Amino acid sequence: MEFRALGTSDLKLSAITYGAFAIGGNMWGGNEQKDSIESVRASIDNGVTTLDTAPFYGFGLSEAMIGKAIKGYDRSKLQLLSKFGLVWDGSNQGKGEFFFDAEENGKTIPIYKYASKANVIKEVEESLKRLDTDYLDLLQIHWPDSSTPIAETMEALETLLQQGKIRAAGVSNYNLEQVKEARKSLHIVSDQVGYSILNRSIENDLVPYALENNLGIIAYSPMERGLLTGKYFQEGKLKENDHRNGYFQQFDLEKVKAFLQTIEPLAAGKNASLSQLVLRWTTLQPAITVVLAGARNAAQAIANAKAMDIQLTPDEIGFINTELSKI
């Protein structure tokens, strides 16, 4: 495994970071808790020291399972990354910015973006309890909240830094202007954003800024929620309550399928899967500090970790990029 410094912080994160959205179950058609916990432990046992989660993932379930999974490991050698700012239980008392309606067990649950100072402090205490730890290595706002001044949210993060409850502060889903605004109040060290072989829009502005200003970029959805594994084109069926039924429709699926078929021989020649090849390509892109990879079981977790064993030459990266231009 390769370990990389996150921005100007003293954090060293594993280049492949465990992404814990799917094990929360909500929006993913459910989960098997035993398999999920085993996937976390298999990741750690294969060199993945960094785990990224959020209260919203499973409405607390993802954090709770990670708390269980890491028992018995040296906490000082792990990096726990979590978030705040998505409220679902009415504790915002009608404040905040409405985001969307989630479905859980047949119920509609309104989700709000809410990042007031008081709410940030409250959420962190709840996260620490679920994760069974007394500090987070990185805390990130989950989504921008237009109802709360960025400066107020940053003030909360500064308080938590001073209290020692977090080691570093970052943001998630912030555009470049929001990052600049946040940095006027607090030196955030990272931005977690969607980035994949099919979604490279941040290369236009955020990546150049990150390179010039030592901002870490944590890339999520590198596999486009499983589309780039190629399995969807073989099986093509998802559970009815799986959000990906709609998510995948944003892509030209025939072109994506053709692209994957073109690069598959390259993966096979390296005794790797398409998933591993795509993950490795993503880790090699400019300004990308770490790449989040989800896993629902131990086998997937091990495969993700071993993606870092793949060596890609400049010519091979050029070949992939040339084929990408055809999509």
**Which fold is adopted by the domain 3-250+273-311?**
TIM Barrel (3.20.20)
210-239 residue pLDDT tens:
999 999 999 999 998 888 888 777 766 666
Q: How distant, in Å, are the alpha carbons of 48, 77, 99, 231 from that of 183?
A: 29, 28, 25, 41
- Catalytic residue chosen out of the listed positions 57, 114, 174, 220: 57
Instruction: Dig out the tokens for 83 from the structure.
Output: 């978030």
Instruction: Indicate whether 27 pLDDT > 80.
Output: no
Instruction: Indicate whether 165 pLDDT > 70.
Output: yes
Task: Determine contact, residues 119/92, Cβ cutoff 8 Å.
Answer: yes
**DSSP per-residue codes, 19-46:** E-SGGG-TTBT---HHHHHHHHHHHHHT
Average pLDDT over every residue of 52-63: 94
Q: Helices 298-305 and 33-45 sit at what angle, rounded to 10 degrees?
A: 30
Average pLDDT over every residue of 66-75: 96
Per the annotation, the verdict on 57 as an active-site residue is: yes
Higher-pLDDT residue of 256, 187? 187
For residue 226, give the nearest of 259, 194, 248, 251 by alpha carbon: 248
Higher-pLDDT residue of 320, 240? 320
Q: How confident is the model at residue 62 (pLDDT cuts 50, 70, 90)?
A: very high
Instruction: Indicate whether 43 pLDDT > 50.
Output: yes
Tracing tokens 């929001």 back to the chain, one arrives at: 178
Average pLDDT over every residue of 192-202: 96
Q: Quick one: pLDDT at residue 29?
A: 46
Q: Quick one: pLDDT at residue 24?
A: 63
Q: How confident is the model at residue 31 (pLDDT cuts 50, 70, 90)?
A: low
pTM of the model: 0.92
Instruction: Dig out the tokens for 212 from the structure.
Output: 């010039």
Task: Determine contact, residues 191/172, Cβ cutoff 8 Å.
Answer: yes
244-276 residue pLDDT tens:
777 877 888 788 888 999 999 999 999 999 999
Average pLDDT over every residue of 1-12: 97
d(CA 323, CA 218): 25
Which of 16-20, 64-68, 89-93, 142-146 is the least confident region? 89-93
Q: How many residues does the chain have?
A: 327
Average pLDDT over every residue of 302-323: 95
Task: Determine contact, residues 295/43, Cβ cutoff 8 Å.
Answer: yes
Which amino acid is present at 151?
A
User: Across the chain, what does the average pLDDT equal?
Assistant: 92
Average pLDDT over every residue of 148-154: 98
